[in-house]
Amino acid sequence: MGERPLVAVLDYGSGNVHSAVKALIAAGADARLTADRGLVREAAGLVVPGVGAFEAVARALRAQRGDELIERRLAGGLPVLGICVGMQVLFEHGVERGVDTEGLAQWPGAVTELDAPVLPHMGWNTVRAGDDSRLFRGIADERFYFVHSYGAQHWSLEATGPFRAPVLTWCDYGTPFLAAVENGPLSATQFHPEKSGDAGIRLLSNWIETLPGSR
């Protein structure tokens, strides 16, 4: 087995991050919770967790200049993985309880409330993995753990030039929403892989295998 790739878990004040660190270690990474800008830039992978409200997460990320760190890594083709609200803030904006908040705008579109009879969407659910998904290799039929009331329900970004088309994975809860996106170096999951048992560890392992220096 080769050397474990360094994965930085961005520490910007979002709660419940230690379970993500533990899951990444179990999946084969040298995972470290850090706000050190040099370490975040140099790591093979960056994980951006997020729990709570879109507006609070977006504000906290910008306060730590996390938006700049993400932008710089992506400009260099270095992998980033967003989780839960860490996925949502990658879109242009989020609308929660009538408040429209500017996101990081890595992807076009809005995060809005799910049209479902009961919210939040909490518990285990299946997904419809996109064709040629790397994240869901070998686990497309597994169940994953969700806890959220908002999601990205539309996708409008198309592939351009020589780039691989974005791989979209959907889930149904009242209405279809994006459960995961794989778009070049930027990937994200709406569910919590760190709370999804063996399937979540496998998904993180699949992501780790795409990192620079991994086998």
pTM of the shown model: 0.96
Please state, in angstroms and rounded to a whole number, the distance separating the CA atoms of residues 189 and 178: 8
- Of the candidate CATH numbers 3.40.50.880, 3.90.1150.10, 3.40.50.10320, 3.20.20.80, the domain formed by 6-208 belongs to 3.40.50.880
Active site residues: 84, 192, 194
Q: Give the mean model confidence (pLDDT) for residues 195-200.
A: 98
| Helices and strands in the chain, H and E counts | 6, 13
Instruction: Give residue limits of the domains in the chain.
Output: 6-208
DSSP state of 49: -
For 107-163, how does the pLDDT look when each residue is reduced to its tens digit (9 = 90+)? 999 999 999 999 999 999 999 999 999 999 999 999 999 999 999 999 988 766 666
Q: Give the mean model confidence (pLDDT) for residues 20-47.
A: 97
Beta pairing partners, 181: 168, 188
Cα-Cα-Cα-Cα torsion 156, 160, 165, 169, nearest 10 degrees, comes to: -20
In this model, does residue 1 exceed pLDDT 60? no
Residue with structure tokens 């004040």?
13
- Alpha-carbon distance values, 115 to 27, 87, 152 (Å): 34, 19, 12
